[in-house]
Structure 1
């Protein structure tokens, strides 16, 4: 697999198209100055910038591993943008989100993945389960798969619930070595029969340099405040430390996932 240096484009939001009210954070479809549509995640929403950080890191890790992810971009919201919005709730959200937000390319015509309709082959299922164990993503269940079918291919979306521990930042190394108990509810776990093989392949791809490059994409302003760290550098290093330690001890979450799968079948 060819590796590229991860990088994100920045676009300016020019038009608010419509809200997506499926989630509690009120994401929306917007148009940007490149004439493309995006699903924007607002930093002024309830979970704040931590959801955007999780979305960024998880999405770019998925892309580096060869999984299908819509393009992620930084989306700038001008301070005057929300003044003409008639809905007061949305207007408040737009005003609280002025500046830099995160958006994903809108996959027009995509449909929600349904495990009763579409069968995922074991290798791909194992790859997605492995990724979600790595990033502690609690949001890939039958109730909320956070996957789309687009042009007959499976695409991953919505990783804002990953790295859930960063809302309180307990001991990083302890968290990194924990099995991912919620894997028992993963929608693709029954098909994930190749976790050991995927573990070896993916650990080789996610080098320390690649991890640092991906975490390095987080804007400094998203790492200021609301954390136990005294500097932006310390905050950024905590994400790097978590991922490096978790990769080094990946057999813990792989074995836990394998045991959870055997219990299902």
Structure 2
């Protein structure tokens, strides 16, 4: 599982998007962007963040490190903003902490992305069905001259259909992905070669290791997968099925 640290101070909200993440400080002296379990998107967004972040690292992309942030009621007592106070009180327990990159700035299209980096980002987004890396919201940062991918919660949206039980992995495996609005579409050269390289790095064991990083507390039971381990196995089946097809990859089979 990702490391667990306790929040010691809420610093400031990040009023971008609808989930109201916030900057917090923790007992390990780290500063994190906290994504709250009590936000409207629910726990599955946090699960997607951990899974896709783990995949990104394994295929050679830079993404901030993650922790599970233990949030106690004492933190809310010193927050004057009632909206933030309500969100904290609705999020007691484990939340997601994303390492804060001080001085990072957003991707503007003119900065180099490095050999193969753009294609790897596009491959990752196609594989995980990420719908949120457009010019309206690139979710890319430059930090110390390198490109970093962030905010993966809009990926793996198949799990939002699990309220009645785990669905069929084959449907996700065959689901196409449209690159038309992707922020790096024009820069993603050599996608076929990247597909061959990346596919060799991923398999069922890798997917299982990635799922092991997700805290049990975020894996809500669904019919047919009532335990955290059963739900992890379901995610692995979906990822294995997706990797076995190429309908989702722009250009098809490499």
TM-score with structure 1 setting the length = 0.89
Is contact 2:225-2:234 (8 Å) kept?
no
Question: What is residue 237 of structure 1 aligned with on the other side?
Answer: 233
Is contact 2:21-2:33 (8 Å) kept?
yes
- Select the residue among 11, 16, 28 that pairs with 2:10: 16
Task: Specify the SS of the correspondent of 1:180.
Answer: coil
Question: What is residue 131 of structure 1 aligned with on the other side?
Answer: 124
Summarize the alignment of residues 57-72 of structure 1 with structure 2, pairs less than 5 Å apart. 57-72=51-66
Summarize the alignment of residues 1-265 of structure 1 with structure 2, pairs less than 5 Å apart. 8-115=2-109, 117-121=110-114, 123-169=116-162, 170-181=167-178, 183-225=179-221, 227-232=222-227, 233-249=229-245, 251-254=246-249, 257-258=250-251
Unaligned runs of 5+ residues in structure 1 are: 1-6, 260-265
Unaligned runs of 5+ residues in structure 2 are: none
Counterpart CA distance in 2 for 1:214 and 1:207 is 11
Is contact 1:122-1:193 (8 Å) kept?
no
Higher helix proportion: 1
- Provide the aligned C-alpha RMSD in A: 1.5
The C-alpha deviation readout for 1:179-201, integer Å capped at 9, x for no partner, is 112x2211101111211111111
Task: Specify the SS of the correspondent of 2:39.
Answer: coil
Is contact 2:52-2:128 (8 Å) kept?
yes
Counterpart CA distance in 1 for 2:62 and 2:27 is 24
The C-alpha deviation readout for 1:221-243, integer Å capped at 9, x for no partner, is 21224x34441233222211110
The C-alpha deviation readout for 1:70-89, integer Å capped at 9, x for no partner, is 11111110122212211111
Number of residues of Structure 1 aligned to a counterpart in Structure 2: 247
Segments ≥4 residues shifted beyond 6 Å? none
Is contact 2:113-2:146 (8 Å) kept?
no
Counterpart CA distance in 2 for 1:153 and 1:13 is 28
Counterpart CA distance in 2 for 1:176 and 1:15 is 42
Counterpart CA distance in 1 for 2:32 and 2:175 is 35
Is contact 2:64-2:150 (8 Å) kept?
yes
